[in-house]
Chains A and B, each alone.
Chain A
Amino acid sequence: MKHGWGNLGIFRGLMLLTWVVAGSGPEAHAYPSSIGLGYGSCATCHYNTNGNGPLTDYGRALFATAYAAKPWISALGKTDEELGAKSGFLGSVELPSFLRPYAGFRGMYLVSDLGGDASSSRFIPMDAHAGLTLKFFKDRVYLSGSLALAPSTSVAADGSLVRKTVLVTREHQFTVRPWKFLDVSAGFSDITYGIRVPEHNSWIRSLTGLDQRDQTHGVIVHLSTAELDFNVHGFLGNLFQESGLRQAGVSVSGEFEPLERIRFGASFLTSGSEFRNRTLGAIHARVGFLEGSSLLAQFGVNREDPIDDGLEAYVGDSLFLQSTFGLARGWNLLFTFEHAVRDFGSGAMLLRAGPSLQYFPMQRVELRMDLTSTRTSGTTLVDPDILGLQTQIHLAL
């Protein structure tokens, strides 16, 4: 396959080589599952108080000293103190305290229909981005934004698929934090709703219009205490899109921690455009176990109302369950189970399950391998589960 990234064989080789020779150390984690390490609130490690996006200095140090294994390269640091001191964008080189650049890359080698007649494989450069966070007034005011190269697929006049790389932005925000418990952000970001899992193809994201390209312009008010996070997000849609496509609305979400490392949450979203109205509701839970292990669960009901004569509204649901086992520092084994019904009226049901191995060999590097088994039930045929294998490399500089 030809694409705009040149010869990517080196990445494939690097991934395979790393999986083969990888070593290990003692315990660590990432993402919403980090509640297993006691980090329930995203704002601990991210400038974006709802997670995702650039890491704070503390988040970088934590990545180096708790999430990632101790690196093989001793020049990166031997003790956790050294690793933390070298976790900045330029390692131990000090930057002005108001200036925090960041960059990242995520690519995936995908084998679809593993072992099947239609098996195929390709490398997908999912994202390459660079950004800057500026912070002022004792970290009470932030300005953060990034530009990214991302794959885009369109249909040519002859019906063939055209894959190309496009320049996009996934985040630009202005945030004011007048008090520790209140953040107000304006700009372009992910919608606050449910658990923000990194698996953008999970059905709690892809069937709810909360995919990796579904950011929106709007204002987020975020209230937080030690036991509570609460968001109201009013949004106008993606202003880079044509006005008729913009999905404008509001979401309300909250998460409560009644016991240490146990969080329960609920979310509601309503939005509309010239083409559809959408209403979503979900409940979720995040439970941390010892040593960074955790369980994530979210169940939601989704209603879509197409604004077009002849098209009827449909209601479906989506369930996401993911258990993360912290095996050793830098090493996690995940099991993910998903269920979804796009339209209760159709009778078709989707099921997906599979194990994943996640490895952080050092700060800034994540390697992940996912085996997925996907099933469609309730149609006229009963086919074998479709197996897929995804190997990812993620660099967070």
Chain B
Amino acid sequence: MNTPLKHFRFFRHLILLLLTALATQSSSVRADPREMISENCKGYRAENRRWVAESQLPIPKGSQVDASPVAGRTDQVTLKWEGVYYAVPVRCLKEGGSVTAVAPASGGVLPSAKNVSAFARGKQPALEKKSFFRIETGLLSWQETATLQSPDSRSVALRSSNFGALLGFGYQRVLSRHFELHGLASVVYGSSELGNSTESAGSDLQYLVSGVTTLGGLAEASFLWMPTDPDVALGVGVPVLVRSADWAEPSGYTLNSRFAMAPGAFLEGRMTRGHWVIFSRFGMLSGIGNVAWNLSAAYQW
């Protein structure tokens, strides 16, 4: 029977193996944390959030270096030497040991700064590209208030619930390794219901419609913070919804909010996988108490 200690050693090895697999993503490169550097190696040096080409790495031939796989790449690794990060082809590492490039290393292809930055999170990621555009679509839900006024000037507060979809165009500007700005302009198509709430259920003015089409646009500017990784961010947004709802107006009565502009505030999260982005937003539109939320998927380039 195995002793618990042996169990733990086994699990420890398993953890290291799995963590390496995680770091490599779909990469088929296995790399030991410390490896030997070969001679005549060209690469990139991480400097001030950019990768600068190096015709000759300043790492002495045969040195022991920390080598780590680059997420999603089979042909590149990052090296750490005297506190500086270098991105180099896998072939720079001496063969043998536990480092093997299962897929053929593409000679001479230097790392994409974006991929290396994803790996070197929290350290010296390169921000190769600062601007991104996207097409975004998602679900949107919000509530509003409206007022129905009778011919004799009596009025009752109504509430509307809206649920629909948005389709829009977005822009992302990376300000630094930790901050970014977003803009979104979209069209909104939804279905709404409008009626008395429990609060006004006793009123002698009663109104209820449902399944009414709502058309409009949602624009938003947001400021997001990337705590550790460029692919995950959260922050706040300021949306403005402009919409028109074709709520029936009884003869002689007035509905004050068939057309409305509703500013608000969102707590917002973004996560990115390659070209695909997920946005989650939760907050309020058209005043406190009117909850709004959105879940969107986007394709960015």
- A382-B271 in contact (CB<8A): no
Annotate B52-96 by CB proximity to A: 1 below 8 A, 0 otherwise. Answer: 000000000000000000010000000000000000000000000
Please indicate which of the listed interface residues B159, B197, B198, B229 has the most CB atoms of chain A within 10 Å of its own CB: B229
Which one of B196, B227, B278 lies within 8 Å of A328 (CB-CB)? B227
A73 to B18, CA, bound (A): 27
Contact A323 B141 (CB under 8 A): no
CB distance from A217 to the nearest CB of B (A): 31
Which 4 A-B residue pairs are closest in the complex by CB-CB distance? A335-B280, A353-B293, A382-B195, A94-B4
Q: Which residue of B lies closest to A324 (CB)?
A: B271
Chain B stretch 10-35: residues in CB contact (< 8 A) with chain A: 11-12, 14-15, 18-19, 21-22, 25-26
- Within the complex, the shortest CB–CB distance from B7 to chain A, in Å, comes to 6
* A115 CA / B291 CA spacing, docked (Å): 13
Q: How far is the CA of A79 from the CA of B263 in the complex (A)?
A: 48
- Chain A CB within 8 A of B118 CB: yes
Beyond A58-B15, A327-B232, A384-B289, is A293–B195 a contact (Cβ under 8 Å)?
A: no
Size range of the chain B interface in the assembly: 35 or more
Q: B6 to nearest A CB, angstroms?
A: 9
Contacting residues, chain A, for B19 (C-beta < 8 A): 66
Number of interface residues of A (CB under 8 A): 53
15 A/B residue pairs, CB under 8 Å, sorted by A:
A61-B8, A61-B15, A84-B15, A98-B1, A289-B231, A289-B232, A290-B229, A337-B293, A353-B291, A354-B293, A381-B196, A381-B201, A382-B159, A382-B208, A384-B291
User: Contact mask B258-301 → A, CB, 8 Å, 1/0?
Assistant: 00000000010101110000101110000001110101000000
Q: Give which listed residue, B118, B141, B231, contacts A353 with CB less than 8 A.
A: B141
Cα-based distance from A26 to B269 in the complex (angstroms): 18
> Beyond A57-B8, A61-B12, A325-B271, is A337–B193 a contact (Cβ under 8 Å)?
no
Determine whether the beta carbon of A84 is less than 8 Å from that of B163.
Answer: no
Most chain B CB within a 10 A radius of its CB, from A61, A66, A261, A289 = A289
Which residue of B5, B139, B196 contacts A382 across the interface (Cβ within 8 Å)?
B196
Query: Cβ of A27 and Cβ of B228 under 8 Å apart?
Result: yes
> Is A383's CB under 8 angstroms from B295's CB?
no
Judge whether B161 is part of the interface by a CB distance below 8 angstroms.
yes
Which A residues are closer than 8 A to B by beta carbons? 26-27, 37-38, 57-58, 61-62, 65-66, 81, 84-85, 88, 94-98, 115, 259-261, 287, 289-291, 293, 295, 321, 323, 325-328, 333, 335, 337, 351, 353-355, 373, 375, 377-378, 380-385, 387
Q: Is there a chain A Cβ closer than 8 Å to B112's Cβ?
A: no
Encoded as 1 (CB less than 8 Å from any A CB) or 0, chain B from 121 to 161 comes to 11000000000000000010101000000000000001111
A289 and B2 in contact (CB under 8 A), knowing A335-B280, A354-B282?
no
* A38 and B8 contacting across the interface, CB-CB below 8 Å: no
Residues in B whose Cβ lies below 8 Å from that of A96: 4
B234 on interface, CB distance cutoff 8 Å: yes
CA distance in complex: A381, B196 (Å): 6
Q: How far is the CA of A88 from the CA of B11 in the complex (A)?
A: 12
Shortest CB-to-CB span from B166 to chain A, Å, is: 14
How near does chain B come to A85, taking the closest CB pair, in angstroms? Answer: 6
Cα distance, A351 to B159, chains bound together (Å): 16
Complex Cα distance, B280 from A375, in Å, reads 18
Residues of A within 8 A of B139 (CB): 337
Given contacts A84-B8, A94-B4, contact A385 B291 (CB under 8 A): yes
Q: Taking CB as reference atom, which chain A residue is nearest B281?
A: A335
Q: Across the interface, do B11 and A58 meet the contact criterion of CB distance under 8 Å?
A: yes
Residues from chain B with a CB closer than 8 A to the CB of A38 are 18, 21-22
Out of A259, A290, A325, A382, name the residue touching B193 (CB < 8 Å): A382
CB neighbours (8 Å) of B26 from chain A are 259-260
